[in-house]
Amino acid sequence: MSISMNTALLGMLFVLLSALMGNAQSIAPSTVFSKWKEQVDPAVERALNYLVKVQNDDGSFPEQYGTSSGIPALAGMAFLSRGHLPTEGAYARPLNQIIDYILARQTRQGVYSAGHGGVGPMYAHNIATLFLSEVSGMVDPERQKLIHESLAKALNLILRAQAVKKSERHQGGWRYHPNSKDSDTSCSGWALMALRSAKLNGAAIPNQAIEDAVAYLYKNYDRKEGHFGYSKVGAHKESLTGMGLLCLELCGQHGRPETIKAADFVLANYRALETDKFEFYGNYYNAQAMFQMGGKYWATYADWMYQRYLKLQKENGSWYSKEAGHVYGTCIMTLAFTVPYRQLPIYQRDETVDEE
């Protein structure tokens, strides 16, 4: 009788702890991915081959935003996400072309150029900074020196842009330009990930900058419903809640009521992406965030994502995104698909990075 009671109590305790953590660890992410791996592996390789084929000789890409620093950076992260390196292998050349292209387009002020038709230089700049931070340490000594010098200027620009005097509503975030006096969560998410990546890589990023960025995200969080918005709490919540959740997770906000509620919102509303204007963008962030949460969140989302998007890949290996075309769609979908490979350092958990 006592053994049965103890077993029951232990079972109840496990359920309670799982609920408090918001993460049913009994469902391992690797187990979830195993049933899709045989389809995902070749799909990802076809996608990377497509990017190589369409890449311009100077390292840029065709289509909308292809000459910005942002699209090449996304392509570079797509190569890295599958474990490919700039020092060896079939994708070393396109990776180095991307690195050289981005480095050559940094202005005296430290901004990585948005190219032609960019929505604003800070978007491209933040993504390019994130990529260079992720690839830092993987390159040859000559490029490493250039990246080190370039990143210092790029990160200082992000910190200066955050420090621009703004209203309380917008303080702590970023928007289209280094001197913008307002903020939005989409641009801010990329900036925060760039700072976080650099901090993990040993850069002297002030803790206060990370804390201020997290505080800004919370200003766009609906504590009742659990969703994040764009510049208002309810705007684009279907495509941006994953962004907010991922950023909180990467900044150590594990197991908080806010992150659990945000994950529950994504779990209840992810199918709304199928008709959303920013479908691929939302899927990228949802995939990253739900993988961080693990358990039922990743298991449910992964099954939907792979089932929906594997069949949408074109014969040439690309995915078409109504947001910005084939190249962008292929990059962002590859980054979503490759979450389980755990190759990009920014998406790893490091609980000790902020310890004194």
pLDDT in tens, 180-190: 999 999 999 99
pLDDT band at 330 (very low <50, low <70, confident <90, very high): very high
Q: Name the phi and psi angles at 228, rounded to 5.
A: -105, 150
pLDDT tops 90 at residue 32: no
How high is the pLDDT of residue 3?
37
DSSP 271-295: GGGGG-TTHHHHHHHHHHHHHHH-H
pLDDT tops 90 at residue 255: no
Are the C-beta atoms of 114 and 123 separated by less than 8 Å?
yes
How high is the pLDDT of residue 119?
67
Q: Can you give the three-state secondary structure of 11-61, one letter per residue?
A: HHHHHHHHHHHCCCCCCCHHHHHHCCHHHHHHHHHHHHHHHHHHCCCCCCC
Give the count of alpha carbons within 13 A of 8, CB side only: 5
The whole-number average pLDDT for the span 198-213 is 94
The residues that bridge with 325 in the sheet, in sequence order, are 321
pLDDT tops 70 at residue 15: no
**List of domains in the chain:** 25-347 (1.50.10.20)
Q: Mean pLDDT of all residues in the chain? A: 88
pLDDT tops 70 at residue 140: yes
**CA neighbor of 162 nearest in space, from 152, 174, 175, 148:** 174
How high is the pLDDT of residue 345?
80
pLDDT band at 40 (very low <50, low <70, confident <90, very high): very high
CA–CA gap between residue 283 and residue 307 (Å, rounded): 13
Question: What's the token pair of residue 128?
Answer: 């390019």
Q: Name the phi and psi angles at 48, rounded to 5.
A: -65, -40
How high is the pLDDT of residue 329?
97
CA–CA gap between residue 253 and residue 356 (Å, rounded): 17
The residues that bridge with 52 in the sheet, in sequence order, are none
CA–CA gap between residue 258 and residue 272 (Å, rounded): 21
The whole-number average pLDDT for the span 63-90 is 94
Question: What's the token pair of residue 142?
Answer: 């000559």
CA–CA gap between residue 292 and residue 233 (Å, rounded): 23
Q: Name the phi and psi angles at 207, rounded to 5.
A: -55, -35
How high is the pLDDT of residue 259?
94
CA 310, 312, 316, 322 dihedral sign is negative
